[in-house]
Amino acid sequence: MSVHEIEVTINGKKYQEQVESRMLLSDFLREKCGLTGTHVGCEHGVCGACTIHLNGSAVRSCLIFAVQVDGQEITTVEGLTKDGELTPLQRNFIECHGLQCGFCTPGILMSAADYLQKHPHPTLQEIKEMLSGHLCRCTGYEGIIKAIQKTIDESNHHYEAERR
């Protein structure tokens, strides 16, 4: 068994840890860093529950080895909040009933946050396509889509108000 020392920045905090070559990033986040908001569902990259941001892009942490992120920057669902305040997307998930059991929620939030950052005005079809990489057994996706659309609408209203 080969062990490597890695240093990675997670949610703005530096972590320096010894990891086995075969340790998955999702396991590293949960077991070594105590960041249990990243969930592991399928371990095959299909369900989307383990989605995080790696260097600003949404990725499936169950498909990446921890040794691959040495020197990289990661944001987990715990890092979405700023100064303890929920983001508009997180608030809208609550308000629009975009979660029930909550198992898929962290991954969907991470994908949606990344997608909206890069595509601030997606169509309904584009939102559905973005969500196609996530499995949710509880909500039927209606509340999730409403939450994302509400976030877009609020962002557009905020943008229009600033332009005046």
Kindly state the tokens that stand for 69.
């992120």
Question: 81-105: per-residue pLDDT in tens?
Answer: 988 899 999 999 999 999 999 999 9
Place of tokens 């608030």: 91
Looking at residue 82, what is its pLDDT? 85
| Dist CA 46 CA 135 (whole Å) | 8
Looking at residue 161, what is its pLDDT? 55
Please state the domain extents for the chain. 3-79, 88-163
Sign of CA dihedral 151, 157, 158, 160: positive
| Dist CA 76 CA 74 (whole Å) | 7
Looking at residue 160, what is its pLDDT? 54
Give the chain's residues under pLDDT 50: none
* 3-state DSSP assignment of residue 6: strand
Among 130, 97, 98, 95, residue whose Cα is nearest residue 114: 130
Looking at residue 71, what is its pLDDT? 98
Looking at residue 162, what is its pLDDT? 57
How many residues in the chain? 164
Q: Could you count the other beta carbons within 10 Å of the beta carbon of residue 121?
A: 10
Looking at residue 1, what is its pLDDT? 75
Helices H, strands E: what count in the chain?
A: 5, 5
Question: 48-66: per-residue pLDDT in tens?
Answer: 999 999 999 999 999 999 9
Give me the CATH code for the 3-79 domain, please: 3.10.20.30
Query: What's the N-to-C CA distance of the chain in angstroms?
Result: 62
Domain 88-163, architecture per CATH: Orthogonal Bundle (1.10)
